[in-house]
Structure 1
Amino acid sequence: MPVLIREEMTVDCAAIRDLTKAAFASVEHSSQTEAEIIEALRIAGALTLSLVAIEDGDVIGHIAFSPVLVDGTNVGWYGLGPVSVQVNRQKNGIGSELVREGLQRLAQTGAKGCVVLGEPDYYKRFGFEADTGLVLDGVPASYFMRLVLHGRPPKGRVTYHAGFDAR
């Protein structure tokens, strides 16, 4: 049975939380607060796009997108993450499907761009690239990347939603 990607529903919230905790449990650079970040974004109404990958009725993957500010201003850009896949299903393309579908849907909403903090080799395949004009404090420039969806990239300091303060 193929994997179905759809927007999250209320019934998915507990499964997303469990999936996210398990997926990040052994990740070296994880704050172990990714599930709490998603919940904080959801409560604040800042979970702009939240997609799940469903197989045989079970949530096996999740991706979140939320607004970011550039120099304190909303410029129509979003942050990708967290993204998680069931541990025994990782490295099977499910995360890639979620990223591609999420970026396509984000572009359809008129979003101007997306930033991600992550592994350069992974995210470059989706068109993300480092841009020294966009800065996330305390992060090496090569691990903070952007993807222009419409228009030109902004310049300045990026701030994620307060829900990320759970880090």
Structure 2
Amino acid sequence: MAIYMAEAILHCSIASSTTSAVKVLARRPRSRPEHGCFKTGTARRLHREAAMAWLVLFFAGLFEVVWATAMKMSEGFTKAVPTGIMVAAMLLSFILLAWSMRVLPLGTAYTIWTGIGALGAFIVGVAVFGEPLGFLRIFAALLIVSGLVLMKLATPG
């Protein structure tokens, strides 16, 4: 491993047209390079953790939709089953959100989580509860989606 790291440093600091860089390229494993340089084990781990954090955050947002829907179906906490589903989904949503915040920035994670919940609740409201679907509501939903995309693009990693 130390040899590969030393060769990667050499490769990254020498122009690719020199013979030593060509030798490094010829004997390095094909699964290791990224943008012409080796990716260290730490960098791979951080990349995997970030990808997992985004996936976990997505599921946290879906569970937010579940608990919001169950809250609506509980009719003011008068029905036991929807109330129980709401509490369980809320707890799971918060746990997943907290886990994703170990890697993702607070502002990004919370914004994405609430955005997924808001958009999902909007879709469930229209599809399940027959809420009205007008131009301004669709436009507002598109603004939420654009905000989520921009937040994701603006977050490093």
TM-score, structure 2 length as denominator? 0.26
Larger radius of gyration: 2
- Name the structure with the higher strand share: 1
Compute the TM-score of the two structures, normalised by the length of structure 1. Answer: 0.25
Bigger helix share:
2
